Structure 1
Amino acid sequence: MTTPITFDINDGDGVTLVRVGEGIFTDNRDPLLTALLHLADTPGTGIVVDLSDVPLCDSGALNMLVQVHQRVTATGGSLRLINPQPMVANILNVTNLDRLIPIDTDASDDAEGNRK
């Protein structure tokens, strides 16, 4: 069994920064998925997911990101990923999710999505 997932949510002006603290896998993603889908239901919201502490993910995590992207864009919002570790960045590239979801591989963002 995978370690339970940890994450923090910080709201800014229309943008929410979500910092994930563990690997994202099919058997631990549900609390994060629920939180992200809840955020995505707010019309026009921007969601920034910080992956700097996520060393690895599986297809369940990729599916989660697609679900959140579809939901948030349907409500006029956006999803952006920042700081993926090399293995996760490679997975996003190989699966072409980096063409669907904007990814910033070298970002230091605050809750409003502004570079520090």
Structure 2
Amino acid sequence: MAENHRTETTPAEQPHGLSVVAATTDGIHVLTVTGEIDHHTGDQLRRALDVTDAVRPHIVIDLHQVTFMDSSGINILITTHQKVTAAGGWLRLAAPTHPVQRVLQLVGIDQLIDCHPTLRHALTP
């Protein structure tokens, strides 16, 4: 039986803010992110990804509504990947938009972190 838990953060005060909705499904922490991930909004995503107390954390970040991501977002993804992997877990990215996918490919994140075309694919073992 699927376990579901959902929390939501509100968009940042900036005109191009960020919204992060967190849910847990079958032990997987799913973050659905909407908006822009940059140096103004990155802390909000970083806080949502704080899994220091989780044992073998499994995280999927749904990026299908992210319109922009700069180096701040890349650094957050790399740091989270390192922490989660060190704890015996994994991080997956789901459904990045074309602009975000392009950034992921340019810096090679798609070679480091599993990227999936849909959320359903990312949640499949």
TM-score by length of 1: 0.87
Matches within 5 A, 1:1-116: 3-36=16-49, 38-39=50-51, 41-104=53-116, 106-109=117-120, 113-114=123-124
Secondary structure of the corresponding residue to residue 39 of structure 1? coil
CA deviation vs aligned residue, 1:18-52 (integer Å, no higher than 9, x gap)? 0001110011110210120x225411121000000
Between the aligned partners of 2:24 and 2:55, the Cα distance in structure 1 is 15
Assess if the C-alpha contact under 8 Å between 1:41 and 1:72 holds in 2.
Answer: no
Assess if the C-alpha contact under 8 Å between 1:41 and 1:71 holds in 2.
Answer: no
Secondary structure of the corresponding residue to residue 73 of structure 2? helix
Q: How many residues align?
A: 112
Between the aligned partners of 1:40 and 1:102, the Cα distance in structure 2 is 21
CA RMSD of aligned residues (A): 2.0
**Higher fraction of strand:** 2
- RCO (CA 8 Å, sep 6+): is it higher in 1 or 2? 1
Assess if the C-alpha contact under 8 Å between 1:52 and 1:82 holds in 2.
Answer: yes
In structure 1, list runs of 5 or more residues that go unmatched: none
Q: Write the letter of the residue equivalent to 1:113.
A: L
In structure 2, list runs of 5 or more residues that go unmatched: 1-13
